[in-house]
Amino acid sequence: MRVSLRSASSSNMPLNLGRWPRARAVRAGVLAAVTVLVTPLAASVVAPSIASAQPASPAVPTGPLDAKAQLAAGDKATKAKNWAAAIAAYSAAKAQNPSLEAMDGLANALYEKDDFGHAYEAYEDLIRMHVGKLAKDKRATAEKRLKELGQKSGPLTINGTEAEAEVALDGVLIGKLPIAKSMRVSAGEHKLRATKLGFNPFETAFTVTGNTAATVEVKLAAEVHKGKLKVHEADGKPVHVFVDGIDVGAAPWEGDVDPGVHDVVVRGPNVVSAPEKVTVDKNGLRDIELRASATLAKLKITVEGSPTAQIFLDGKPVGTGSFTAEIPAGTHKLSVTREGYQKFEDEVVLVERENVARTVVLNLSEEVKTGGDDKSARKLEGFYGGFGLMGLLLPAGNGSDVQETCAKRAAPVTDCSGGGAGTGGGLFFFAGHHWDPVGLELVFGGSFDQQSTKIAYSGSNLGVGGGLGPDPKRTEDFFIGRAGGFLLGRTRLSFQTNGVRGSFAVGVGASYRVSFLTRDTEGPAPLRDAFVSNSIGSFSPVLSLDASIAPRFGERISLPIGIMMLAESPNAKIFGDQVPRTDPEPSRQLAPGVGLSTPSYQLSAGPQVFLGLYVGLMFGP
């Protein structure tokens, strides 16, 4: 807002009190009254009015400077032709005291900066407030520039009904609606933008010519969050339109709906159209035509195992995975599509009032294969993973001392059972990436295996193994168990057809297993002893071979059934001596004076070959 006094005859003519003889006597009183009225307003109104339409000016000296110091700063900036700094300094001085010097300096700086609109207003204010104090040459310059600036600027009025909408002129915020007072702007092209939350932005360009008033009407339209849908019946039958099962009115119908997919059908007495799925965009318009038929039948379509399959009837989408509706009797074209599967097409013939149910089974596309010259064929490309559960067999056993004792049957061994193959089970996980037809993967898993042996001994007077006293006739039941995990890096070679995938993998890695032994000794009644060894951990290198065949249950799911071989050796020197051995107990006895040989038992030695039949799940290409 700017306070100014205007002539009743013309807003562009300066008020010249000096030309009226009778005014000389009252001129001093009038000027004093004007000064009293303007001074308190200028500090809060005049300077912000100038700043509001201008970009930020260079900083002026900060601190509690008085008007005189600000005038000095403005004069210094004027000599340096730093007009932005001069405008800031003179505006600050005028805010404290709207003196002739401050207003003249401000008007001159705005003029030199080519800010024609604000310069016009500044000279107009200067003449009205200090006409009696202006020197003759100063006054002539002011009136000349005022006339010049009138040709280079024009008054602008901004009207609008949306209160609190922010208005920017040429990118500079000038206030909020309503803007009751017109402003002076430079002649030429300008852009005005108005914004308010909940409304679409308003933008317009306009041209201002010298001394010609311009008016901009700001019209803000509320944001629209709907789309528009038009529906009409092809033959003009008297029907109602149903959108998502709701009767919205008679056809032809037009209305606003939420953006997205809608089920649309027209229905009347004994007539109905085939339903259609219609997608409406935000702020968009969809105009559709439906044809109603006088004969109806009920059709139900179910796509087995494919809830994402798209169902089309007579070329129009009607459902996903399943579809049920009353539709006109007659012949209809049914098609079902799903990515990676062959397109299903058929004709459905419906008789009036007939109920027809169809189940569609989609077949994998013949293009899903490995290799080949068909560029559209789906290749084994991308990340995959899965898991498997397997049973383990050690055909050659674990090579332990117990197994060797049983195999040799040397005195004092009299009988032996077991001591052959070991058994167990495991679980493994794998993940990798295919580059058709080769994949690289990591495999990690865990397993447990065991071997049980029963050995009968004759009596011995030697105290075998450092036992104290003679060893009696006895039976010893041995149990050797191992548990641990393995980590492998493997290369996989795969091929596939529409219904099956085959793979072969080979890789190397390392395993860590913890072994232990238990022994239950039964001597002459009632002598009995239970021995449990310490647990011994050991590392071993691993070689892995894997072959599988996998029925496919979709593009990315298969059920591998295969056999895996893991070959280890605790005798390998890669990790040092890793053969697991228990600690001896030379002083163990069944009873005082009755010995029980308990040497250091070697729990495994030599190649450890695990064969595992497994079944699992595989995800990915």
d(C-alpha 7, C-alpha 11), whole Å:
6
Q: Which of 57-66, 177-186, 536-545 has the lowest mean pLDDT?
A: 57-66
Question: Which segments within 338-402 are labelled E, that is strand?
Answer: 344-350, 355-360, 381-394
Specify the CATH class of 155-218 in words: mainly beta
Residue with tokens 């013949």: 366
Q: Chain-wide mean pLDDT for the chain?
A: 82
pLDDT of residue 510: 93
User: In this structure, what token pair is assigned to residue 225?
Assistant: 């969050």
User: Is pLDDT larger for residue 269 or for residue 2?
Assistant: 269
Which option is the CATH number for 17-153: 1.25.40.10, 3.30.70.20, 1.10.3720.10, 3.60.21.10?
A: 1.25.40.10
What dihedral do alpha carbons 109, 110, 114, 119 form, nearest 10°? Answer: -140
- Give percent of the chain above pLDDT 70: 86
Whether 67 shows a pLDDT value over 50: the answer reads yes
- State how far Cα 50 lies from the chain centre: 47
The predicted model gives 242-252 an average pLDDT of 91
- State how far Cα 3 lies from the chain centre: 55
Whether 243 shows a pLDDT value over 70: the answer reads yes
User: How many other C-beta atoms can be found within 10 angstroms of the C-beta atom of residue 441?
Assistant: 20
Of 360-369, 468-477, 526-535, 588-597, the range with the highest mean pLDDT is: 526-535
d(C-alpha 238, C-alpha 12), whole Å:
68
The predicted model gives 42-61 an average pLDDT of 37
8 A C-beta contact, residue 362 and residue 303? yes
Helix (H) or strand (E) holding 317: strand 316-320
- Give percent of the chain above pLDDT 90: 38
Helix (H) or strand (E) holding 450: strand 438-457
d(C-alpha 191, C-alpha 218), whole Å:
12
The identity of residue 509, as a single letter, is G
Alpha helices by DSSP H, 289-433: 401-408
Whether 384 shows a pLDDT value over 50: the answer reads yes
The pLDDT confidence band at residue 539, using thresholds 50, 70 and 90, is very high
User: In this structure, what token pair is assigned to residue 202?
Assistant: 């308003």
d(C-alpha 128, C-alpha 368), whole Å:
89
Helix (H) or strand (E) holding 67: helix 67-79
- 526 exposure class (CB count in 10 Å sphere: 0-12, 13-18, 19+): exposed
Whether 351 shows a pLDDT value over 80: the answer reads no
Residue 173, SS3?
strand
pLDDT of residue 461: 59
8 A C-beta contact, residue 296 and residue 352? yes
The predicted model gives 25-45 an average pLDDT of 34
The predicted model gives 73-92 an average pLDDT of 91
User: In this structure, what token pair is assigned to residue 381?
Assistant: 């490309």
Of 11-15, 196-200, 271-275, the range with the highest mean pLDDT is: 196-200
The pLDDT confidence band at residue 587, using thresholds 50, 70 and 90, is confident
Helix (H) or strand (E) holding 75: helix 67-79
Alpha helices by DSSP H, 361-509: 401-408
Of 32-36, 124-128, 258-262, 482-486, the range with the highest mean pLDDT is: 482-486
Residues in the chain: 621
The predicted model gives 248-260 an average pLDDT of 90
How large is the C-alpha radius of gyration of the chain? 49
User: Is pLDDT larger for residue 22 or for residue 401?
Assistant: 401
Reference 2, options 52, 54, 36, 62; nearest CA is 52
Q: Which of 327-336, 367-376, 387-396, 413-422 has the lowest mean pLDDT?
A: 367-376
Of 63-77, 354-368, 447-461, 472-486, the range with the highest mean pLDDT is: 472-486
d(C-alpha 524, C-alpha 472), whole Å:
8
User: In this structure, what token pair is assigned to residue 619?
Assistant: 């995800």
The pLDDT confidence band at residue 475, using thresholds 50, 70 and 90, is very high
pLDDT of residue 469: 60
Whether 463 shows a pLDDT value over 50: the answer reads no
Reference 364, options 550, 494, 559, 500; nearest CA is 500
Helix (H) or strand (E) holding 523: none
Q: Domain locations in the chain?
A: 17-153, 155-218, 227-360, 388-619
**pLDDT tens readout for residues 93-113:** 899 999 988 899 898 999 998
